[in-house]
Amino acid sequence: MSAKTDVAILGASGYTGAELVRMLLGHPNVRIAALTADRKAGTTMADAFPQFYGVDLPRLVTIAEVDWSGIDAVFCALPHATTQAVLKGLPERIKIVDLSADFRLSDPAAYEYWYGAPHQAVELQKEAVYGITEFARDRVAKARLVANPGCYTTCSQLPVIPLLEAKAVDPDEIVVDAKSGVTGAGRSLKESNLFTEVSEGFHAYGVGHHRHMAELEEGFSRAAGRPVIPSFTPHLVPMNRGMLATVYLKPVGDHTPQSLHEILATRFAGEPFVHVLPFGTVPQTRHVRGTNRAHISVFADRRPGRAIVMCVIDNLVKGASGQAIQNLNVMMGWPETTALEAVGFFP
């Protein structure tokens, strides 16, 4: 028997799984009770990730092998589309943070459009709370299932949603030019993820039809109170971690770049993880690496009547596993920063 909350991590042999393990090892209220990795079942976490050599952790098992009777909470880091069937089958008392895209879209039709198949767990989808924690804290606190947002959406929505809600920018004039490190593509074997194909080069991908757009548009539309479709282009940076969204905006009414900065600074004042830098200060991905932080800044554009907003996060932490733990902390009523306080290292 444990006074701690027993947690299972499904899909522990991927990068987000490893990040969950790393951070939960420092969580005073959590015991890692089960780790699954269907293809690597039978081996250890240290086999998959030697940074855990010598650390006491349960062996990797298949999902079918998990004894759910003692599990209180689940982090689900399975591939997109494989998650619905698994989560549908879990006992109702278990709290879930799902890191896949499966429950992020509230509209089943939108899910089917973007993912090419009907949703397999429509009831659960209705119940799921989309959890950029800073925007959904109250609903996350009461949720059984939190759909943990994607990295691109987190990075793009954090600096823009408060401005849309304040009706400070024109919803039809949003350009999000986003750049991500390679861990965003996960650990899967694709020629395009080889070192030799990524290093010493730069390119965009998914131009005009990236799946993250659905999430992005839902959030922007909800904030604006009407349909919003931004320009959105993801790019691949030859680095492991980090994400930058450069957002071009058109302030409306009396708004100026400076007033946008004020809105964001006020909105995020007191937030432990979201820091609005002084006006015109360039945020860098390297300074939030390994942490749950977001650094946001606002700039005057030389193009008259325009503003530029930037946000950086670590795509694996605030963009995935860190925000997942932040959400669990809120769901469980624990201090929100538990296990997430560490400052990152640079270089």
Q: Which of residues 118-157 bind a second copy (CB under 8 A)?
A: none
Q: Which pair of structure tokens corresponds to residue 310?
A: 């930037």
Among 88, 126, 226, 303, binds a second copy (CB under 8 A): 303
Q: Does 213 bind a second copy (CB under 8 A)?
A: yes
Cα separation of 20 and 322, whole Å? 7
Q: What is the torsional sign of CA 173, 297, 15, 99?
A: negative
Q: Nearest 5°: phi and psi at 310?
A: -125, 150
Q: Does 187 bind a second copy (CB under 8 A)?
A: yes
Which residue's CB is nearer to a second copy, number 150 or number 242?
242
Among 8, 9, 37, 288, binds a second copy (CB under 8 A): 288
Which residue's CB is nearer to a second copy, number 29 or number 120?
29
Among 166, 265, 300, 332, binds a second copy (CB under 8 A): 300
Q: What is the torsional sign of CA 62, 65, 70, 73?
A: positive
Q: Does 39 bind a second copy (CB under 8 A)?
A: no
Which residue's CB is nearer to a second copy, number 67 or number 341?
341
* DSSP code of residue 10: E
CB of residue 301 vs a second copy: minimum separation in angstroms?
A: 5
Q: Does 283 bind a second copy (CB under 8 A)?
A: yes
169 forms beta bridges with: 251
∠ Cα 217 108 161 (to 5°)? 25
Decide if 124 contacts 84 (C-beta within 8 A).
Answer: yes
Is residue 76 among the annotated active site residues? no
Peptide bond just before 159 cis, omega within 30 deg: no
Decide if 243 contacts 203 (C-beta within 8 A).
Answer: no
Q: Does 285 bind a second copy (CB under 8 A)?
A: yes
- How many C-beta neighbours within 10 Å does residue 189 have? 7
CB of residue 347 vs a second copy: minimum separation in angstroms?
A: 4
Applying the rule CB under 8 A, the residues between 50 and 109 that interact with a second copy are 50-55
Applying the rule CB under 8 A, the residues between 222 and 241 that interact with a second copy are 229-233, 235, 237-241
Applying the rule CB under 8 A, the residues between 249 and 278 that interact with a second copy are 275, 277
Q: Nearest 5°: phi and psi at 165?
A: -60, -35
Which residue's CB is nearer to a second copy, number 68 or number 205?
205
CB of residue 98 vs a second copy: minimum separation in angstroms?
A: 22
- The catalytic site residues sit at 151
